[in-house]
C-alpha cells in the first residue's frame, strides 16, 4: 500500500472560453500522506473547490475540465478511470464533507437513510447489519440518541448535528482520503471547534489522509499538518503548518496572514466623558412562531429579553453571540426596521420607538445601517450614484447637490469617481460593501448600525473594510453599533462589547477586559472556541494584495 | 378526558370550516351576476313557445318567484341551499339535484383521466427533457410541448373527429357510450374508454404542456442542488440520483400547479363536453346558460366550487406527504 492518500502533480483545470482567466488552476502539486491533514488555503476564486471537484471527478464538464497533470488517490490514477470505476471509488475510497450541511443533505430523506445509502451502494450488508452500522457511526460522531436521530429529517436536527451526519456519511466506509470543503464555515464558533476536533480524532483513529479546504487561518492553525496556499489558481506557497503560519515566505501568504485580525484588543480608550448618543432601555421582542390562524399551537421565541445598553459619541459597541442569540434582532429594533414589543431607544434624547411616521422619517437621518450582504442590499438596477444620493434626495437635498456629495463620498470610501455611474454587479464584494458604507454615510448620521458587515468578505478585503470603518469613525466622530459573530473582528474594532445568549446580555464590558478576564461561562466558552486562539499571527508588514 | 383527535382529522375539519364562507361568497356573487344578465327563465321558456301574451308571462313570473326583489330571491335561494335543496329545473322538469347526480360521474371521469394523463406523461417527458437538456431529444419534447400549448382544444377536437371518426372510423364521434350497445361488465368499460380517448386527449394536451415545462425547469434546478452533488460524491449513479434524490423534490412545484389547475380543467371541460356531446356538467352548464336555467346553473357552480375546495385540500395532503418539512397543523 502506498503511503500517499493523495498525490497531485502539475494539475491544470481549464475554464470555459471567455472567463477572466484561461485556467482555474495552474500547476498544482500536492501530497497528502496517510494520517495527515493538509490544508488548502485561498480566497474566493482561488480554485480550491475546483481542486476537490477534480479529485472526485465531479467537475461540471465539459465547460470546466482537467487540462493536464496527474491525480492519484491511494496509488490509483483517477484521471484514467471510467465513470463506472469512479462511482465505485466515490464514497468508499474517497469521500467528501461539504460546507453547508443544510443544503448538502436531501431534505426529503431521513438522516439514517442518507448514511445507509453509502452502505447500500458499496456493500452487500443486510438491512439489519446496515442499520447497526449506521447507528454505530451516529454514535461515533457523538449524536445524542442515535436510534431516534436515524429517523429524523435533516431539518429536525441542529446545524452542528447535520455536519456530524455529513461526517458520519463520509467516514462510514473508512475511506483512505477525506476531502473536507470548508466544513465549518457555516457553523457557530463553539460548534466549529467541536467539529474540528471530531474530524481530527476520527482521522487519527482511521489513519486517513484529509485534504481540508478553508479560507480561515484560524482553522488552519487548529488542524493543519501541512499547508498549501493558492492564489488565483497558482500555488504560491507550501510547507508545514509551523513554517507557513509563523514564517510565511511568499508576499501573498504574508499579506493574508497580516490580514487575520489579532485576538489582542487594542488598549481601551475611555469614553466616560463623551455624551450618550444612543440608549436602549428594557427592549423586548418575542416572535410568534409560524402557525396557522386556527391552529392554536404556536410556540413563541424570545429573541430579545430586557436589553439595556448605552452607546457614547465616537464609541464602537460590539454585539457578539452565536446564531439565534438575538444580535440581528437588536440591530433591527434599534433602527426600527422591526417593532419592539416594549422598551425605548433614545437617540440624542428622543425616543425613536415613540415617534410617529413623520418624526421617524426625520430621525432616520441620524441612524443608518450597513448590511451583511452588500449584493443583496443594493438595488441591482440603480447606478451607484443614485443609490448613495437617494437618502439625501428623500430628505430634501437637491438632486445636483446630492449627486455631488455622493461623488465626494465615493472618494471618502476609497473608490474611484468613475464608480458613480456603474451598477452594483460591476464591483467586487469588498467594493460593494464600500458603496454600502458610503450610502449609510450620505445622510451624515450620528450612529451607524452595522450588521455583520464583513462576514461575507475574504480575509484580506475584510481587513481593508474594517480599517476603513475605523478611520471613518474617527474622522467623523461616528458612533458604531457593530453586530458580529466573529470575536477576532470584535477584538479589532470594538471599544466595548455586549455578549448575548438566547436574547439576553450575559456579559458586557470593555473589550480588552472581557477578553482578558471573561466572567460568564458562556463568554469563556466562546473565547476558548476561537479557532487558532493559541496562534499569534507573526508581526508582518501589511502588504496590499 | 377529551378524546384525542388525530391531527389529520382536526386539520380536515378546520379546512372544511374555512371553506364554508368561500362557498357562500361564490354563490352570492354568482347569483347576483346572473341576475345582472338580461333575460330570465321565463324569457327563455316563452321564446321556446314562440311567444305568449303579457298576462301569461306575468303569471309565470309570479309562479317562479321572479317578481320579487333580487335580495328576496337571493335569501330564498340561499336558505334552501343551506338544506342542500337545489330547487327545480323548469327546463328539465326535474329536481336539480337529480340532474346533477346524473351528470357528475361523466365529468369527474373525464377530468380524472385528463389530469392523470397530463400529469403522468407531462412529468415523464419533462424529466427526460431535463436529463437530456439542450439535446435533440430535449428540443423535440420542448417543441412538442409548445405545439400542444398553442393548439386550442376545440380545434384539436374537431380535427381529431375529422381524422379518427370520419376518415378512419376508428373512434366514436361523441357520447359516453354506445346507446344501442347495451354492454355490460368489461365490454362496457372498453366501450366507455373508447368514447373517452378523444375528449381526454383534447382536454389534457394543453395541461400536459404545462407540466412538461414546469417539470423540466424543476428537475434542472434540483439537479444543481448541493444534496445531489453529495449523493454523487457517495457514488450514486444517474438513475439512482433521479429516482431517489431529484424526482421527489422536483415534483413539489408541479403538484402545486396540479391543485390550482383543477378549476381551469373544469372550465375547459365545458368546451370539450359540448363538442363531444358528453352528458357531463360542462355540457349541462352550457345549455343552462342558453336556456336561462338559473337553478341548474347555480347547482353546477355550487358543485364545482365544492369539488375545487376538496381537490385543493387533497393537494395539500399530497404535498405534506411529499415534503417531509411540511407538517399539517
User: Is B135 within a domain?
Assistant: yes
Q: Would the pLDDT of A206 be above 70?
A: yes
CA dist B231 and A108 (Å) reads 13
CATH number of domain containing B265: 1.10.3720.10
Q: What are phi and psi of A47, to 5 degrees?
A: 95, 15
| Residue burial A257-283, b: 16+ Cβ < 10 Å; e: rest | bbbbbebebeeeeebeeeebbbbbbeb
CA dist A152 and A50 (Å) reads 32
Q: Would the pLDDT of A296 be above 50?
A: no
User: Nine-digit cell at A299?
Assistant: 410556540
User: Is B235 within a domain?
Assistant: yes
Spatial contact of A256 and A229, defined as CB atoms under 8 Å apart? yes
Best mutation site among A54, A89, A97, A104 for testing chain B: the one with the most B CBs within 10 Å? A104
Q: Would the pLDDT of B265 be above 80?
A: yes
User: Nine-digit cell at B238?
Assistant: 444517474
Q: What are phi and psi of A491, to 5 degrees?
A: -60, -35
Helix (H, G, I), strand (E, B) or coil at B72: helix
CA dist B235 and B53 (Å) reads 86
Query: Residue B5: what pLDDT?
Result: 65
> How many structural domains comprise chain B?
1
User: Is B94 within a domain?
Assistant: no
Residues of A with CB under 8 A from a CB of B: 56, 58, 87-92, 95-96, 98, 100, 103-109, 117-118, 121-122, 153, 155, 166, 169, 291-292, 294-295, 297
Q: Report the range out of A502-511, B183-192, B302-311 with the highest average pLDDT.
A: A502-511
Q: Which residues in chain B are closer than 8 Å to A107, comparing Cβ atoms? A: 227, 249, 323-325
Query: Residue A404: what pLDDT?
Result: 92
The shortest CB-CB distance from B233 to any of A91, A291, A297 is to A91
**Per-residue model confidence as pLDDT tens digits over A25-46:** 888 999 999 989 999 998 877 8
User: Are B244 and A155 inside 8 Å of each other by CB?
Assistant: no
A186's CB contacts (< 8 A; 6+ apart) are A99, A100, A101, A102, A159
Query: Residue A132: what pLDDT?
Result: 94
Grid coordinates 461623488 are at which residue? A407
Q: Would the pLDDT of A536 be above 90?
A: no
User: Is B195 within a domain?
Assistant: yes
Query: Residue A291: what pLDDT?
Result: 46
Task: Find the mean pLDDT for residues B303-322.
Answer: 83
- Which segments of A151-302 does DSSP mark as H helices, in order? 159-171, 189-206, 217-223, 241-246, 251-259
The shortest CB-CB distance from B225 to any of A92, A103, A122 is to A103
User: Nine-digit cell at B54?
Assistant: 303579457
Q: What is the ipTM of this complex?
A: 0.76
Query: Residue B329: what pLDDT?
Result: 59
Q: Mean pLDDT of all residues in chain A?
A: 87
User: Is B299 within a domain?
Assistant: no
User: Is B242 within a domain?
Assistant: yes
Closest CA to B25 of B220, B232, B309, B218: B309
Closest CA to A180 of A54, A73, A37: A37
User: Nine-digit cell at A322?
Assistant: 452565536
Closest CA to A12 of A26, A1, A22, A29: A26
**Per-residue model confidence as pLDDT tens digits over A380-424:** 889 999 999 999 999 989 999 999 999 999 988 888 888 888 888
Q: Report the range out of A286-300, B40-54, B223-237 with the highest average pLDDT.
A: B223-237
Query: Residue A481: what pLDDT?
Result: 94
**Per-residue model confidence as pLDDT tens digits over A487-500:** 888 998 999 999 99
Q: Which residues in chain A are closer than 8 Å to B244, comparing Cβ atoms? A: 106, 109, 117
Which has the higher per-residue pLDDT, B65 or B115?
B115
- Which segments of A295-373 does DSSP mark as H helices, in order? 327-334, 357-364
Closest CA to B272 of B263, B282, B264: B282
Per-residue CA distances from B246 to A105, B131, B141, B210, B224 (Å): 12, 11, 20, 19, 10
Q: At what angle do helices B153-160 and B185-223 cross, to 10 degrees?
A: 140
**What stretch of H or E contains B159?**
helix B153-160
Kindly list the structural domains of chain A, giving each domain's residue range(s) and its CATH number in brackets, ordered by start. 1-93+176-263 (3.40.50.300), 102-174 (no CATH), 315-342+354-529 (3.40.50.300)
Q: Which residue of A has its CA nearest to B324?
A: A108
Radius of gyration of chain A (CA): 25
Nearest-neighbour CA in chain A from B237: distance (Å): 7
Range of the domain at B135: 109-290+304-322
User: Is B10 within a domain?
Assistant: no
What would the 3-class secondary structure string for A87-117 be?
Answer: HHHECCCEEEECCCHHHHCCCCCCHHHHHHH
Q: Would the pLDDT of B3 be above 70?
A: no
Q: Which residues in chain A are closer than 8 Å to B18, comparing Cβ atoms? A: 294
User: Is B68 within a domain?
Assistant: no
**Per-residue model confidence as pLDDT tens digits over B12-27:** 788 888 888 888 898 8
Radius of gyration of chain B (CA): 24
User: Are A169 and B234 inside 8 Å of each other by CB?
Assistant: yes
pLDDT band at A289 (very low <50, low <70, confident <90, very high): low
Distance of CA A14 to the CA centre of its chain: 28
Q: Would the pLDDT of B140 be above 70?
A: yes
CA dist A242 and A240 (Å) reads 5
Helix (H, G, I), strand (E, B) or coil at A472: helix
Amino acid at each position: 500500500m502506498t503511503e500517499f492518500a493523495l498525490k497531485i502533480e502539475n494539475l491544470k483545470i481549464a475554464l470555459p472560453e471567455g472567463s477572466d482567466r484561461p485556467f482555474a488552476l495552474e500547476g498544482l502539486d500536492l501530497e497528502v500522506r496517510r494520517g495527515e491533514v493538509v490544508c488548502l488555503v485561498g480566497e474566493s476564486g482561488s480554485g480550491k473547490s475546483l481542486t476537490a471537484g477534480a479529485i472526485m471527478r465531479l467537475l461540471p464538464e465539459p465547460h470546466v475540465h482537467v487540462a493536464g497533470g496527474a491525480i492519484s488517490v491511494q496509488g490509483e490514477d483517477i484521471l484514467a478511470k471510467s465513470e463506472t470505476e469512479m462511482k465505485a471509488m466515490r464514497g468508499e475510497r474517497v469521500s467528501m464533507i461539504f460546507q453547508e450541511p443544510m443544503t448538502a443533505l436531501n431534505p426529503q430523506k431521513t438522516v439514517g437513510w442518507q448514511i445507509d445509502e453509502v452502505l447500500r451502494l458499496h456493500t452487500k450488508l443486510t438491512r439489519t447489519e446496515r442499520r447497526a452500522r449506521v447507528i454505530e457511526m451516529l454514535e461515533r460522531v457523538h449524536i445524542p440518541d442515535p436510534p431516534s436521530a436515524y429517523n429524523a429529517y435533516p431539518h429536525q436536527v441542529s446545524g452542528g448535528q447535520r455536519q456530524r451526519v455529513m461526517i458520519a456519511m463520509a467516514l462510514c466506509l473508512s475511506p483512505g482520503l477525506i476531502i473536507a470543503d470548508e466544513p465549518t464555515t457555516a457553523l457557530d464558533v463553539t460548534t466549529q471547534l467541536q467539529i474540528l476536533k471530531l474530524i481530527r480524532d476520527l482521522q487519527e483513529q482511521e489513519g486517513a489522509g484529509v485534504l481540508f479546504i478553508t479560507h480561515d487561518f484560524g482553522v488552519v492553525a487548529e488542524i493543519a499538518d501541512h499547508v498549501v496556499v493558492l492564489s488565483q489558481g497558482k500555488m504560491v506557497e507550501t510547507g508545514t503548518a509551523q513554517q507557513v503560519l509563523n514564517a510565511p515566505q511568499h508576499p501573498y501568504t504574508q499579506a493574508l496572514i497580516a490580514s487575520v485580525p489579532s485576538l489582542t484588543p487594542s488598549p481601551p480608550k475611555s469614553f466616560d466623558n463623551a455624551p450618550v448618543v444612543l440608549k436602549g432601555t428594557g427592549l423586548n421582542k418575542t416572535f410568534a412562531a409560524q402557525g396557522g390562524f386556527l391552529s392554536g399551537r404556536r410556540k413563541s421565541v424570545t429573541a430579545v429579553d430586557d436589553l439595556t445598553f448605552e452607546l457614547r459619541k465616537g464609541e464602537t459597541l460590539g454585539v457578539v453571540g452565536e446564531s439565534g442569540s438575538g444580535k440581528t434582532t437588536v440591530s433591527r429594533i434599534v433602527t426600527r426596521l422591526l417593532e419592539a414589543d416594549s422598551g425605548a431607544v433614545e437617540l440624542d434624547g428622543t425616543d425613536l420607538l415613540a415617534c410617529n411616521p413623520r418624526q421617524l422619517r426625520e430621525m432616520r437621518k441620524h441612524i443608518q445601517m450597513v448590511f451583511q450582504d452588500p449584493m443583496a442590499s443594493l438595488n441591482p438596477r440603480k447606478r451607484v450614484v443614485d443609490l448613495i444620493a437617494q437618502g439625501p434626495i428623500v430628505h430634501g437635498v437637491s438632486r445636483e447637490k446630492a449627486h455631488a456629495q455622493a461623488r465626494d463620498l465615493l472618494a471618502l470610501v476609497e473608490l474611484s469617481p468613475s464608480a458613480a455611474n456603474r451598477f452594483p454587479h460591476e464591483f467586487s464584494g469588498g467594493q460593494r460593501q464600500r458603496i454600502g458604507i458610503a450610502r449609510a454615510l450620505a445622510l451624515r448620521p450620528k450612529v451607524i448600525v452595522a450588521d455583520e458587515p464583513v462576514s461575507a468578505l475574504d480575509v484580506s478585503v475584510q481587513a481593508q473594510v474594517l480599517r476603513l470603518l475605523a478611520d471613518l469613525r474617527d474622522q467623523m466622530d461616528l458612533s458604531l453599533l457593530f453586530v458580529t459573530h466573529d470575536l477576532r473582528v470584535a477584538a479589532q474594532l470594538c471599544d466595548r462589547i455586549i455578549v448575548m445568549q438566547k436574547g439576553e446580555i450575559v456579559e458586557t464590558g470593555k473589550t480588552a477586559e472581557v477578553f482578558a478576564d471573561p466572567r460568564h461561562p458562556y463568554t469563556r466558552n466562546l473565547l476558548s472556541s476561537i479557532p487558532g486562539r493559541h496562534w499569534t499571527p507573526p508581526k508582518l508588514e501589511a502588504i496590499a494584495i | 378526558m377529551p378524546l384525542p383527535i388525530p391531527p389529520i382529522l382536526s386539520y380536515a375539519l378546520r379546512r372544511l370550516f374555512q371553506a364554508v364562507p368561500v362557498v357562500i361568497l361564490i354563490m352570492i356573487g354568482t347569483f347576483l351576476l346572473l341576475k345582472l344578465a338580461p333575460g330570465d327563465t321565463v324569457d327563455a321558456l316563452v321564446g321556446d313557445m314562440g311567444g305568449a301574451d303579457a298576462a301569461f308571462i306575468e303569471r309565470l313570473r309570479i309562479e317562479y318567484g321572479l317578481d320579487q326583489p333580487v335580495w328576496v330571491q337571493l335569501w330564498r335561494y340561499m336558505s334552501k341551499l343551506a338544506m342542500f335543496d337545489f330547487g327545480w329545473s323548469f327546463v328539465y322538469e326535474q329536481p336539480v339535484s337529480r340532474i346533477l347526480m346524473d351528470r357528475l360521474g361523466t365529468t369527474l371521469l373525464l377530468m380524472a383521466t385528463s389530469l392523470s394523463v397530463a400529469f403522468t406523461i407531462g412529468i415523464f417527458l419533462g424529466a427526460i427533457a431535463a436529463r437530456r437538456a439542450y439535446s435533440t431529444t430535449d428540443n423535440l419534447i420542448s417543441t412538442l410541448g409548445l405545439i400542444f400549448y398553442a393548439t386550442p382544444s376545440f380545434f384539436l377536437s374537431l380535427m381529431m373527429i375529422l381524422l379518427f371518426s370520419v376518415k378512419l372510423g376508428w373512434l366514436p364521434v361523441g357520447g359516453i357510450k354506445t346507446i344501442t350497445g347495451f354492454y355490460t361488465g368489461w365490454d362496457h368499460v372498453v366501450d366507455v374508454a373508447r368514447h373517452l380517448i378523444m375528449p381526454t386527449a383534447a382536454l389534457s394536451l394543453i395541461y400536459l404542456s404545462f407540466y412538461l415545462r414546469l417539470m423540466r425547469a424543476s428537475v434542472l434546478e434540483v439537479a444543481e442542488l448541493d444534496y445531489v452533488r453529495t449523493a454523487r460524491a457517495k457514488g450514486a449513479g444517474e438513475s439512482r440520483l433521479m429516482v431517489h434524490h431529484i424526482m421527489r423534490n422536483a415534483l413539489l412545484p408541479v403538484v402545486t400547479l396540479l391543485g390550482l389547475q383543477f378549476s381551469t380543467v373544469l372550465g375547459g371541460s365545458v368546451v370539450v363536453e359540448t363538442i363531444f356531446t358528453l352528458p357531463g356538467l360542462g355540457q349541462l352548464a352550457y345549455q343552462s346558460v342558453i336556456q336561462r336555467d338559473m337553478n341548474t346553473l347555480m347547482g353546477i357552480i355550487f358543485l364545482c366550487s365544492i369539488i375545487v375546495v376538496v381537490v385543493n385540500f387533497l393537494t395539500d395532503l399530497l404535498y405534506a406527504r411529499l415534503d417531509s418539512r411540511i407538517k399539517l397543523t
